[in-house]
């Protein structure tokens, strides 16, 4: 059963430390570039059972020593919320098709940026340490697929998520990488942090745009105070500083590099 399904404008190409200049990233010839409408969904465990994806080999113990969590197609492991940051995520990535070498290079760049976005939104308490890329056709904690044209991705609370690599093709190559990374972040926030969508669903009254990655209408990749509070409620060992400019913090605290295993 779907918890929610809504067609949202998924045009998230700016970093969490650039909210004040977010529109600049979408100017083409001086005009704002509006991207196509894409579906983003949250599904519960009942729906997950019918997920039409083959199972893949898991990548090892679910929670390891030294602040490492292993994420595979089984979803978020129990106990991950008890790990003190920084938590390095080792996740499997399943490819539902065989991308070209050029597209695979773009996907890896999107993962690097995705890790930076996770690092920034958690103030250094979480990042993507390594990605195990599974040969197609496969599914992992994150599955990359060419979804139908208007679908950007979907996620399961505490479970895996799917993101469409068609996001790479929405604008120029560099912006497409940023959009794919932002799509990964949005679905990851559903999966790992149980964050809700911050926009009205189809048939509901319209609401003001929230400056939050969970409201794709905002085109930012930062978090609103409400979503930050939800993360801190779930990960009680995380500590988000107050009174610090995110841009300055990110400049002084770059995210660790992400490695890839093939």
CATH of residue 43: 3.40.390.10
Bridge partners for 141 per DSSP = none
CA distance 255 to 262: 22
In the structure encoding, which two tokens stand for residue 173, read together? 């190559």
Which residues 6+ apart lie within 8 Å of 165 measured at CB? 99, 103, 107, 144, 145, 146, 180
Provide the b/e sequence for 206-234 (b: ≥16 CB within 10 Å).
eeeebbbbbbbbbbbbbbbeebbebbbee
Residue-level pLDDT at 62 = 56
Residue-level pLDDT at 96 = 96
Residue-level pLDDT at 12 = 40
Helix (H/G/I), strand (E/B), else coil: 34: coil
**118, 128 Cβ separation under 8 angstroms:** yes
CA distance 231 to 253: 20
pLDDT in tens for each of the 262 residues of the chain? 233 332 334 434 333 333 322 222 222 222 222 233 344 445 444 343 334 333 333 344 455 556 889 999 999 998 899 999 899 999 999 999 999 999 999 999 999 999 999 999 999 999 999 999 999 999 999 999 999 988 899 999 999 999 999 999 998 999 999 999 999 999 999 999 999 998 887 788 888 899 999 998 888 999 999 999 999 999 999 999 988 999 999 999 999 999 999 8
Residue-level pLDDT at 67 = 86
Residue-level pLDDT at 63 = 54
Helix (H/G/I), strand (E/B), else coil: 261: strand
Residue-level pLDDT at 204 = 81
**56, 138 Cβ separation under 8 angstroms:** yes
Residue recorded with tokens 């190559």: 173
Which residues 6+ apart lie within 8 Å of 55 measured at CB? 73, 139
As for how many domains the chain has, the answer is: 1
In the structure encoding, which two tokens stand for residue 49, read together? 């059972």
Residue-level pLDDT at 151 = 87
* C-alpha torsion sign, points 240, 241, 247, 252: negative
Owning domain of residue 163: 2-261
- E strands present in 44-150: 63-64, 68-71, 87-95, 126-134, 142-145
């Amino acid at each position: 059963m779907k918890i929610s399904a809504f067609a949202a404008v998924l045009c998230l190409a700016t970093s969490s430390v650039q909210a004040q200049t977010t529109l600049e990233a979408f100017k083409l010839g001086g005009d704002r570039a509006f991207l196509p409408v894409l579906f983003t969904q949250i599904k519960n465990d009942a729906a997950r059972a019918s997920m039409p994806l083959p199972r893949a080999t898991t990548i090892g113990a679910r929670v390891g020593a030294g602040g490492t969590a292993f994420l595979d197609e089984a979803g978020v492991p129990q106990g991950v919320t008890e790990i003190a940051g920084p938590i390095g995520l080792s996740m499997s990535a399943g490819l539902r098709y065989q991308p070209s070498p050029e597209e695979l290079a773009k996907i890896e760049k999107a993962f690097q940026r995705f890790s930076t976005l996770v690092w920034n939104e958690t103030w250094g308490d979480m990042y993507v340490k390594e990605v195990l890329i599974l040969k197609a056709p496969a599914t992992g904690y994150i599955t990359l697929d060419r979804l139908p044209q208007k679908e950007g991705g979907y996620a399961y609370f505490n479970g895996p998520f799917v993101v469409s690599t068609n996001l790479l093709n929405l604008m120029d190559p560099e912006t497409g990488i940023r959009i794919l990374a932002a799509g990964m972040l949005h679905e990851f926030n559903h999966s790992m942090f149980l964050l809700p969508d911050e926009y009205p669903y189809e048939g509901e009254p319209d609401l003001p745009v929230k400056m939050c990655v969970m409201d794709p209408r905002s085109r930012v990749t930062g978090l609103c105070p409400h979503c930050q509070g939800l993360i801190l409620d779930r990960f009680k060992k995380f500590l988000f500083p107050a009174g610090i400019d995110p841009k300055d913090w990110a400049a002084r605290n770059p995210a660790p590099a992400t490695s890839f295993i093939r």
